[in-house]
Amino acid sequence: MSKRVDQKTAARVVREQIAAEDRRRRVMWTAIGVTLAVLIAGAIGYGVWQAQQPTKYNVPATATEKKDGMVIPGTTGKAKVEIYLDYQCPACKQVEDAITPTVDQWIKDNKITLIYHPVAILDQMSSPNQYSTRASGAAACAADGGKLYEFSKQLYARQPAENTGGLPDDDIIAAGGAAGLIDPAFARCVRDQTYKGWAKKVTDDFTKRGLQHTPTLFVNDVEVVADKGKGDTSVVDALKRMVTDVK
């Protein structure tokens, strides 16, 4: 009797082990199936997103070799000053206001080569009008007209408050007029968003360079950062020191 009971018990234990192993396999394969479904859905979603991105874009006349910025005409000095900016960014306007008199003199003295990188990282601050993107594209339109530097000053002078929708196209075109862009081609360029794809490319390159905020400045490929040990009290002071040090 005892032997038969032991055999039954052993058989039951084996059946339970087999059942447990079956359950474990079902759970494992279910988890694998869910994971694969998520990965496939993500891949499809990325593919759809990628397919929607512009593969071709118009490039402004004064674009850099990498097509990630624009050189201000007439600036060919030894100190290469790069400014990553967003026309919606209040801090960019503050830095622009602070450095303009000095930059004007550097340009006059042919001290610098000035490059603007107008990125669009603050579109959400003018949703749904994407002012950062439209302003970046309009800056490229202004570059084609030879007035990027002057146009940038006018845009900053009219900088809208965040979360207000940004400037409408008519006001952007008016800023161009004040900068000397009176050719109808400029207005068409702005309204047609001729450089919308390029604005995205500049913004993507900004991220690829590992940058996260505007304004970000470089002098001869070295980021401008205040160094109190060298007498800097601000980024503006650091910029002036670094440009002055270039011989």
Sign (positive or negative) of CA dihedral 232, 115, 220, 58: positive
The one-letter amino acid code at 62 reads: T
Look up residue 117 and give its two tokens: 């990188």
Pick the most confident of 8-22, 30-44, 227-241: 227-241
Tokens of residue 235, six digits: 């980024």
- d(CA 103, CA 96) in angstroms, rounded, equals 9
If you average pLDDT over residues 88-116, what whole number do you get? 97
Q: What percent of the chain has pLDDT over 90?
A: 74
Average per-residue pLDDT for the chain: 87
The proportion of the chain whose per-residue pLDDT surpasses 70, expressed as a percent, equals 78
pTM score, whole prediction: 0.77
Instruction: At 124, list the tokens.
Output: 């959400």
- Pick from 214, 204, 197, 220: nearest CA to 60: 197
pLDDT given at position 45: 42
Which is nearest to 225 in space by CA: 208, 243, 244, 239? 239
* pLDDT at 247 exceeding the cut of 50: yes
Phi, then psi, of 158 in degrees rounded to 5: -105, 15
| Domain segments of the chain as ranges | 1-52, 70-245
Q: For 108-125, what is each residue's pLDDT tens digit?
A: 999 999 999 999 999 999
Do the Cβ atoms of 91 and 97 come closer than 8 Å? Answer: no
Structure confidence at residue 127 as a pLDDT band (50, 70, 90):
confident
- Residue 176 near residue 154, CB atoms below 8 Å: yes
DSSP 8-class letter at 63: B
The DSSP letter of residue 81 is E
Would you put residue 130 in left (φ > 0), alpha (ψ -120 to 50) or beta? left
The number of C-alpha atoms within 13 Å of 202 and in the hemisphere containing its C-beta is 34
Give domain 70-245's CATH architecture.
3-Layer(aba) Sandwich (3.40)
- 3-class DSSP state of 80: strand
Q: How confident is the model at residue 174 (pLDDT cuts 50, 70, 90)?
A: very high
Report the C-alpha gap between 170 and 154 in whole angstroms: 14
